[in-house]
Structure 1
Amino acid sequence: MNTKHRAREIYARLKRRYPAPAPALDWSDAWELLVATVLAAQCTDERVNKVTPVLFAHWPDIASLAEADVAEVADVVRSTGFFRNKAKNLKASANRIIEVYGGEVPRTMADLITLPGVARKTANIVLSNAFGVFEGIAVDTHVKRLAFRLGLTKNIDPVRIEKDLMPLYPRETWGEINHFLVYFGREVCPARSPRCGSCELDDLCPKHGVKA
């Protein structure tokens, strides 16, 4: 089975396992999703989901966060790790969105990645989930690990992995692919002690001698 056929079979099986994929982060609009995704760097989604209600209670929109005291924001997001840098980036992003984009979260990759703290992964998550726009595939640690383990890429750089994955799947499924691999990476194929004996992708996995 060549790589493209294996990729499509992986998609089909994970689609059956996860018929209605969605981000594990709680959000109600593009700004909330952007903030949550920035906070999720080096932090669990569960922790972020506990922090964001407090954050948005203090600063409910882009304009209010742009005017916030960055030290106060840092104190609220402290438990997500790297809190000073995250707070600085969120405030700076809010200001840029107001000054450059008329107070609306931009809807293109080129514009989103100009926001402080926003790289391709975050931009892809916001675009696909909030706007239904597919410019790429978000590659986080789970996607990186599983794409390599499943033989869908030989690269370890997230940007190159994204470029390897995109031709393997129809554009309209790019958002789902991220969700599928994140969920499966957490539930079945973690970094340590993958549960190969109960893995429905086991027969598709060229795992012998392969480590992510």
Structure 2
Amino acid sequence: MRIVLVGPPGAGKGTQAQYLAKNLSIPHISTGDLFRANISQGTLLGKKAQEYMNAGQLVPDEVTIAMAEDRLSQADTEQGFLLDGFPRNLAQAKALDRFLADRNLALDAVLDLEVPEDEVVKRIAGRRICRNDSSHVFHVTYSPPKQEGVCDICGGELYQRDDDHEDTVRKRLEVYHNETEPIIDYYKAQNLVVTISALGKVDEVTQRAMDALQRAKAA
């Protein structure tokens, strides 16, 4: 299957993308991974992206699109893929459609993870991350550490990232509403959107998503 995953910050896209890609035996392609790979490998696109990032500017669509198209041209995507974080606006969505159409391909589904805005704020603003290892993540409500402010795993200090503060989260949501949400309507016009609730346990959301994708494939 060829799938685009969309949803607001804090919807759990990264987590669900990993599980879904594994269950469907297709590569998970995230924008973050694309940037990191191109920058670490010193590609021309990576160098261009780094220049913009060093200047505190957004990487232009044409650079992001070129990275995505390069990745989608690799052999492991022949049986499908799951895109996470791309496309993030209408220009990128239309570029993806053109890329696929040129190869007589098309998307099978756009999976929209739906989460109430207040829940998004609660999820992100409650996150606490270990200074010693950023993979050690806790939550003041859902998975609190045994001792406040201390990582259960290594004893490191837990802190709240600057972009996890409530006012910043709401600004990120505003950007999502303005830039990314329009692609949902764009794909709805193509009858591709499958919307599911992203509330509940991770495995419950994954099963919900798998069921919805299977229904979309059968249709």
TM-score by length of 2: 0.27
Report 1 or 2 for greater relative contact order, CA contacts < 8 Å, sequence distance ≥ 6.
2
Q: Which has the higher helix share?
A: 1
Higher percent of residues as strand: 2
Compute the TM-score of the two structures, normalised by the length of structure 1: 0.28
